[in-house]
Amino acid sequence: MATKKSTITKDKIVSLYMNYVLEHNEKPKTVFHFSKQNAISETEFYNFFGTLESVEKEIFKMFYENTIQLIEKDKEYDSYDMRSKLLSFNFTFFELLTANRSYVLFALKEEKNQLKSLMQLSSLRSHYKEFVSGIISEDLLIKQEQIQNIQEKAMQESFWVQLLLTMKFWLDDTSPALEKTDIYIEKSINTAFELMNVAPLDSLIDFGKFLFKEKVYTK
C-alpha cells in the first residue's frame, strides 16, 4: 500500500527548516536544495514563503504568536497592569526561546553580519511594538494627544530595545536553567517603570549592582 504523503503547511516548512539547520549546522543555500532535501516541491515551498529568509522571520514571529496564545490563557491576564503584562510576556517568550535554544543560538550568534541577524527579527519587532501599544496604561501618558503619540512611539521603541538587550543577555547566559535571565527580566522591566515614574534610584541602583556583579564575576 502506498504511503500517504503528509500535507505541507506553513508550520511544517518551518519545522523542516529548523531541523535542517540543526542537523547540518548551516542554513540551506537555496530553496531548490532545501526542497530536495526534504522531499517537497519548490511549488509547495513558494505557496507559503517567497524566500528562505522569510522562513527565518516567520520563526521568530511564531515565537511571538505562541507567547501571546499562552499568556492569554491565564484567566487573570486581562486584569494585569502594564508592568505585569510585560513581565508575563517576557517570561513566557524566553521560556519558548529556551525550548528552542539550539536553533536560536545558531540563528543569532552564528551570523557574523549583525544586520542580517537583526533582519530575522523584523517581523517580531513590528508585532511586539503593537503589543506594547495595546497595553500602555493611560495613567502613564501625558494628557495632550500630540504628546501622547510621541510618548507612545518612544515607549514602543524603548521596550523593543529592552527586549533586544534581554535577548543578548539570554544568548550569553550560562546559569543553570538560565535563571539569571529571569532576574534580568524582572529588574530591567521594574527599572523601566521606575524611570517612567521619575522615581528611579532604588531600582536603578539594584539593577546596576546586578549588571556590575555579572560583568565582574563572569570574566
Q: What is the pLDDT of residues 127-177, one digit of tens each?
A: 999 999 999 876 555 444 554 566 778 888 999 999 999 999 999 999 999
C-alpha Rg value of the chain to the nearest Å: 20
Residue type at position 190 = N
Sign of CA dihedral 37, 43, 46, 51: positive
Query: How many C-beta neighbours within 10 Å does residue 141 have?
Result: 15
pLDDT band at 83 (very low <50, low <70, confident <90, very high): very high
CA distance 157 to 125: 9
pTM of the model: 0.84
State the cell numbers at 74.
491565564
Grid cell 503528509 is found at 6
Distances (CA, A) of 6 to 9, 12, 38, 44: 9, 9, 12, 12
